[in-house]
Amino acid sequence: MWSGSLDPQQMLELLLTNPYMFFVAVDKNGMITVISPTFLKMLGKTEEEVLDHYVGDIIPNGRLPEILETGRIDEADVCEINGQEVVVTRVPVMYKGKIIGAIATSVLMDTNRMKVVLEHLNEKIDTIISRIIDSPTMGYIVINKDAEITHVNQTYLDILGMKAEDIIGKKILDVIPHSKMPRVLETGKIEEIDLWSVNGHNMFVSRLPITRNGEIIGAIGHTLTLERSVPKFLVSKLQETDSQFNAIFEGLIENPNTAYIIVDKDGYITVMNETFLSIIGKNREEVIGKHVLEVLPHSKLPETLRTGRMDNADIWPIVEGRDILINRIPIWQNGEIIGAIGHSMVLDMSGAKILMKKLQETQKELSVYKDEVNAIYQAKWRFEDLIGRSSEFVTIKAMAQQFAQTSSTLLITGESGTGKELFAQAIHNASSYRTGPFIRINCVTLPENLLESELFGYEDGAFTGAKKGGKPGKFELARGGTVFLDEIGDMPMSMQTKLLSVLQERVIERVGGTKPIEVNVRVIAATNRNLEEMVANHEFREDLYYRLNVVRLHIPPLRKRIEDLPLLVSGLIPRINQKLGTSVNRISEQAMEVLRNYSWPGNVRELENMLERAINLAHIRAAECIDTVDFPTLSKKETADVTANSFRTLNEVMDQVEREMIVKALEEAGHNKTKAAKMLGIHGSVLYRKLSKYGLN
């Protein structure tokens, strides 16, 4: 009796015999070991012609050798096999950290429909998009996550009686006071089609959130514009089928990119536009006056008439093999349902994977989405990513997790490279602000004359070269999220005064503006400098220091938690291997001892950079283990008298001396990079490049 579960062999047999997907596996040398009959049929070959042959000879563009070499995963990639385009997923097969083979799988779809989509796309993406956006009967308006208008088409502008420059960058509620689009940003839900009126123009409106990586980054309002008298005219005439009414109404809703059907209260079709008719392959005489189930046996419009329920973005098979996204809405009069509308933007679901891939490739060229993409700020690190078991580190991490639950301003101190920003990101991701953006501002790299406009934004015409329409600052963009002020100790005194006001009042004013703007953000500041000493020397405002120092975390340097070194190394090596596409998976005990005996002035950042160089050197030696030879600057021979060592080049000696001078200057300057650069007699930008070169920044 069958137990209800499949053993691995049964699962493999089902996978191989499935007629709707193909499967091929190769060993670590790229030789084909398993292939499904479906794939053999596509290739037009027999098992004898394929098994134990090199995959590159059988499938020249299959790219499985690349997976064996790099270990990466290719998801939903488009591949051409014998002239047929399929969506393929390729994954490496790992065993004990080594790649022992690779697998490619694909679900087969009707590529004829995909090719139709691709042929249209190949005409020119921009032309297609503009054709949709600039439809004379379809109005579009797009807002970002701060409810600021980023795009609007001419049809909608005509409705508003405005020009694009009058509204782009403005809050939508300032332009359309009763707009419901901010509600979409809050709920993330697709709004039902409803009747909406702007400046005396009546419209059917759909509102949809724009999401990326699971987060809402904006919203789009999509309207079908109607003549002012049409809604009442529609209500009174809906149950009639006279040709004059249908001609008038169909003229209003005809759009090559949108399908419409309208039924009366008994489910009989009164209107169907040309787009819908062409999809189902019928003419108007064959459908008008017929019951909807006679024409569309699977239609859910009778259910809409019965229940009064609105269906949003439902995937519905309009004809066999063709799915569309459809909205259904009942039509009410005096509390009774007198009809229903089915409305859809035409989308071939079977071609969605390839369509999405093509759209992603051209995304940067589409100005509609440019501002939204540029406004995405995300925090990557979480508390589980912060590695360490030493008592001091565990205590600091536990404190940080507690502080994440508050909204207090937080000050993080510690030497360069200890991971202050990583802690800030982890705190953001564990806080109530995690759904908002995480925006980092480096107070030392921004010129003083640009810092204010970057933080607080500016109005149109605030200064020469100002962007038309103005620009929001980082505090505005971060609303609902976190602002991370890195290197706060290097912020100019003039900006310290303005920052203090923001922290106290929670409002900002743009450069050149007079209107106060409320901001709901959490501020986390970080510095490697001694702020108490700076306050005593009148280099940092005392009142700002106390405002920042509400809650404080001091991240210990690596030399004070050397017991964490093996754990850090074991955590960093896989990450670096993945980044480099290498497989140097171990470190010798002798090499680890060299690392233990080093003082680590650059802390964890220096450790990561040094390990990356070591893995590169080990990879060049074709070694799977990092050894002392891969840390030339740390070995005892290298730290001995440079004149007594005949194995170092002049460049290596100069690099070592230069690095030591920079470390000493930083220590004497209290890690103030500006002072250190002056002591060394070099420009600040040169120092930053050298800090990066030696893993000290």
Tell me the two tokens of residue 526.
């970080």
Q: In this structure, is the dihedral angle defined by the CA atoms of residues 310, 312, 315 and 316, taken in order, positive or negative? A: positive
User: Which residue would you say has higher pLDDT here, 227 or 48?
Assistant: 48
Is 30's pLDDT higher than 60? yes
HEC states along 620-645? HCCCCEECHHHCCCCCHHHHCCHHHC
Confidence of residue 114 (pLDDT cuts 50, 70, 90): very low
Residues belonging to the chain: 697
428-432, 547-551, 689-693: least confident range:
689-693
Q: What is the mean pLDDT of residues 269-296?
A: 88
SS3 314: strand
Strand partners, 439: 483
Strand partners, 551: 410
User: Which residue would you say has higher pLDDT here, 157 or 608?
Assistant: 608
> So what's the pLDDT on residue 448?
72
Confidence of residue 256 (pLDDT cuts 50, 70, 90): low
The residues, ordered by sequence, that sit 6+ positions from 346 with a Cβ below 8 Å of its Cβ are 257, 258, 259, 275, 279, 324
> So what's the pLDDT on residue 136?
53
Tell me the two tokens of residue 184.
């979409």
Is 239's pLDDT higher than 50? no
Tell me the two tokens of residue 44.
């037009």
123-137, 274-288, 398-412: least confident range:
123-137
State which of 342-351, 591-600, 688-697 shows the largest mean pLDDT.
591-600
Is 377's pLDDT higher than 70? no
- Which residue, chain included where needed, has tokens 């920044």? 697
List, for residues 650-673, the tens digit of each pLDDT value: 566 677 778 888 888 888 888 888
Is 252's pLDDT higher than 80? no
Beta strands 149-152 and 438-442: pairing type?
unpaired
CATH numbers and ranges of domains, the chain: 8-108 (3.30.450.20), 124-226 (3.30.450.20), 258-345 (3.30.450.20), 383-554 (3.40.50.300), 564-693 (1.10.8.60)
Cα-Cα-Cα-Cα dihedral of 663, 665, 669, 675, to 10°? Answer: -120
Of 345, 333, 406, nearest to 129 by C-alpha is 345
E strands in 346-382: none
Share of the chain above pLDDT 90, in %: 20
Confidence of residue 398 (pLDDT cuts 50, 70, 90): very high
List, for residues 206-229, the tens digit of each pLDDT value: 787 877 767 888 888 877 544 433
User: Which residue would you say has higher pLDDT here, 151 or 323?
Assistant: 151
| Own/partner pairs, 86-95, CB within 8 angstroms, 24+ separation | 86/22, 86/111, 87/353, 87/354, 90/63, 90/64, 91/67, 92/67, 92/68, 93/25
> So what's the pLDDT on residue 257?
56
Chain-wide mean pLDDT for the chain?
Answer: 77
Of 132, 140, 180, 211, nearest to 372 by C-alpha is 211
Q: What is the mean pLDDT of residues 44-61?
A: 87
Is 119's pLDDT higher than 50? no
What interhelical angle do 391-403 and 420-429 show, nearest 10? 40
Q: Phi, psi at residue 358, to the nearest 5°?
A: -65, -40
Tell me the C-alpha distance between 290 and 277, whole Å: 14
Of 376, 377, 323, 364, nearest to 345 by C-alpha is 323
Q: What is the mean pLDDT of residues 111-115?
A: 42
Q: What is the mean pLDDT of residues 373-385?
A: 71
Confidence of residue 635 (pLDDT cuts 50, 70, 90): low
Confidence of residue 648 (pLDDT cuts 50, 70, 90): low
> So what's the pLDDT on residue 423?
95
Is 362's pLDDT higher than 60? no
